A and B are shown apart, each in its own frame.
Chain A
């Protein structure tokens, strides 16, 4: 792909076109997911026995990449399945489409409905468009920077809870089976049971962040996910009034493979102070 000059300037019309393309792409991806959902799946593993990939993941990514490249040949593309093992990404100012063809692949394989297609578009290293489509649940989450976020057309507003003791926190076990990482994750689980109202786990990072945006839960954190898991959801959450940070409380670094999303600053602060922060490397 040709790389354009830095500090891209896009018009409102161009952004709107990109948003409409994103919706179209999400719809097509959703159709593929829905068709395949109840069938038998051929499953491979990636980094661990719990890190799954199917031919559907790969088919969707290929289809989406070709749709985008056709319309926007100068834009960049970062996809989960086309990222080679140990390939490192660098963010530039160019419009960059970041996709997870199926977030919640384990759910997809095990017939659990929390499965989604996630597409975030960054320009000048900032997320400007976010689309998360959960086709089995028929839930389309969308956001454009500065224009709010929506679920099936209904405007979203995160919870106003400030007290962690009243908050329900979403978390994931994740795909790593490294003993030390799991030990730290269990320490965090224990802390949350004793300091929050409760915990929930759905198996999709993108949908969990969208749930915080929708007020269905007051916080989400994860160590070890990837930029394609949370770029779109992160914008959807902030446009609904939530905060999205690095778990340590600092600014989110999109390539640092960890995220904390909370309905308010106060809940975010409490979580940052409570959790053991795990370094999971870089995308």
Chain B
């Protein structure tokens, strides 16, 4: 891929994000028809599907040889994904669908592009708050054009950590997650929960919080946000401390290696399968 190719892909990504944002914004205050997927807390709406369809056709129209992984197409096909070296556009049409349905503002469109199995472009657009987070590999991360820098905190006791309940209602999973929340409250300055993985990663990138941990999310939830966070100086790993596996459905993001290590050591690590 030449620099020109990447620049062109980046421009299309931004344009597609703005268009998706408009659809989300228009639908946000209206009544929504809601279906469920894996559990009563795993929601999907016609807006999720409309956004994904629009994005899919925009991308294939411009880059017919590229690959596409989308949350809603995957939900229908039930397929397992394999990453190849080809340029792959990975999208979550609405991250934070529960927020979307319940009129909570932390809703975002997430688009990450991988080449040679590495994320090279990341765009997360939160249209209700009009916050456009972007990153290109090696070129820094930005929020509405302002360069982002993660916190410099190294002491877990001074850190505020973001975590989510997630959509699983499996008894053992919920038990472990509540245990982790308890552990986090006793070892850190506090926990926060916003309802969108992509936005959570962007918050760590922006220094609004010092860590984010979640088990059970999908590649499309975090691929863009993870690049934005690492380009802002944060670390992004598997919760155990190993390298992040993009298909392993879990992530730890921290403002510093020390906070990351502190978190890895105290948490119960859940296996949520693979994408």
Chain A interface residues (CB < 8 Å from chain B): 49-50, 52, 106-107, 109-113, 159, 161, 165-168, 173, 177, 182, 186, 189-190, 193-194, 197-203, 211, 215-218
Among A110, A161, A165, A197, max chain B CB count under 10 A is at: A110
Type the 1/0 row for B107-130, where 1 means its CB is closer than 8 Å to any CB of A.
Answer: 000000000000000000000000
User: How far in angstroms is the closest Cβ of chain A from B141?
Assistant: 16
* A166 surroundings in chain B (CB, below 8 A): 102
Report the nearest A residue to B153, measured CB to CB. A110
- Distance between B29 CB and nearest chain A CB, rounded to angstroms: 10
Q: Inside 8 A of B182's CB, which chain A residues have their CB?
A: 182, 186
Q: How far is the CA of A109 from the CA of B159 in the complex (A)?
A: 10
Question: Which of B151, B157, B174, B186 is close to A193, meaning CB atoms less than 8 Å apart?
Answer: B174
Chain A residues in 8 Å Cβ range of B160: 106-107, 110, 112, 203
A190 to B190, CA, bound (A): 18
CB distance from B164 to the nearest CB of A (A): 8
Which residues on the A side are within 8 Å of B151 (C-beta)? Answer: 110-111
In the bound complex, how far is the Cα of B187 from the Cα of A49, in angstroms? 10
- 20 A-B contacts (beta carbon < 8 Å): A50-B189, A106-B160, A106-B189, A107-B160, A109-B189, A110-B151, A110-B159, A110-B210, A111-B208, A159-B103, A173-B185, A173-B190, A173-B191, A197-B98, A198-B98, A199-B193, A200-B104, A200-B195, A201-B193, A203-B192
Q: Which of B177, B189, B210 has the most CB of A within 10 A?
A: B189
* CB-CB nearest in chain A for B185: A173
Q: How far is the CA of A52 from the CA of B158 in the complex (A)?
A: 11
Interfacial residues of chain B within 166-225, with CB under 8 A of chain A in the complex: 169, 174-175, 177-178, 181-182, 185-186, 189-195, 203, 207-210
When distances are taken between beta carbons in the complex, the residues of chain A under 8 Å from B98 are: 168, 197-198
How distant is A237 from chain B, measured CB to nearest CB, in Å? 15
Q: CA separation between A132 and B201, bound complex, in Å?
A: 28
Query: Which residues does chain A contribute within 8 Å of B99, judged by CB atoms?
Result: 168
Nearest-CB residue, chain B, relative to A189: B178
- Which residues of chain A have C-beta atoms less than 8 A from B208's C-beta? 110-113
A194 to B39, CA, bound (A): 11
Q: A110-B158, A110-B208, A197-B40 are in contact. List 12 more A-B contacts (CB 8 A).
A: A50-B189, A50-B190, A52-B189, A106-B190, A110-B159, A112-B160, A112-B208, A113-B208, A159-B102, A186-B181, A193-B174, A201-B193
**Are the CB atoms of A200 and B181 closer together than 8 Å?**
no
B203-262 contacts to A (CB < 8 Å): 203, 207-210
Cα–Cα distance between A211 and B103 once the two chains are bound (Å): 10
Chain A-chain B contacts (Cβ-Cβ < 8 Å), number: 95
Determine the chain B residues whose CB is within 8 A of the CB of A112 once the complex forms: 160, 192, 203, 208-209
CB of B274, distance to nearest CB on chain A (Å):
24
- A111 to B158: give the CA distance in the assembly, Å: 12
Tell me, yes or no, whether B54 is within 8 Å of chain A by CB. no
**Are A201 and B189 also in contact (CB < 8 A) when A110-B209, A186-B178, A186-B181 are?**
no
Q: Which residues of B contact A186 (CB under 8 A)?
A: 178, 181-182
Q: Is the CB of B190 within 8 A of A217?
A: no
Residues of chain A within 8 A (CB-CB) of B105 are 216
Give B188 Cβ to nearest chain A Cβ, in Å: 8
| Interfacial chain A residues near B159, Cβ < 8 Å | 110
Residue of B nearest to A111 (CB): B207
Query: Are A197 and B169 within 8 A (Cβ)?
Result: no
A49 and B192 form a contact (CB under 8 A): no
In the complex the two chains form, what is the Cα distance from A199 to B195 in whole Å? 8
Shortest Cβ distance from B159 into A: residue: A110
**Docked complex Cα distance between A216 and B104 (Å):** 4
Residue of B nearest to A191 (CB): B178
Residues of A within 8 A of B177 (CB): 193
Are B186 and A182 in contact, with the CB atoms below 8 A? yes
Shortest CB–CB separation between residue A112 and chain B, in angstroms? 5
Shortest CB distance B179–A (Å): 8
The chain B residue with its CB closest to the CB of A171 is B193
C-alpha gap A197/B169 in the complex (Å): 10
**Assembly CA distance A34 to B2 (angstroms):** 44
- B104 / chain A contacts, CB cutoff of 8 Å: 168, 200, 211, 216-217
B137: CB under 8 A from chain A? no
Taking a contact as CB atoms under 8 Å apart, the answer to whether A201 and B192 are in contact is yes
Q: Write the chain B residue with the least CB distance to A113.
A: B208
Contacts A112-B208, A190-B178; A198 near B195 (Cβ below 8 A): yes
Residues of the B chain whose Cβ atoms lie less than 8 Å from the Cβ of A173: 181, 185, 190-191
Chain A residues near B41 (CB-CB < 8 A) = 197-198
Q: When the two chains form their complex, are residues B190 and A200 in contact, meaning their CB atoms are under 8 A apart?
A: no
**Residues of chain B with a CB closer than 8 A to A199's CB:** 165, 193
**Shortest distance from the beta carbon of A210 to any chain B beta carbon, whole Å:** 13
Question: How far apart sit A52 and B189, CA to CA, in the bound complex (Å)?
Answer: 10
How near does chain A come to B233, taking the closest CB pair, in angstroms? 14
Give B268 Cβ to nearest chain A Cβ, in Å: 13
Contact A189 B181 (CB under 8 A): yes
A202 to B105, CA, bound (A): 12
- Contact partner of A194 (CB less than 8 A), chosen from B102, B174, B181, B192, is B174
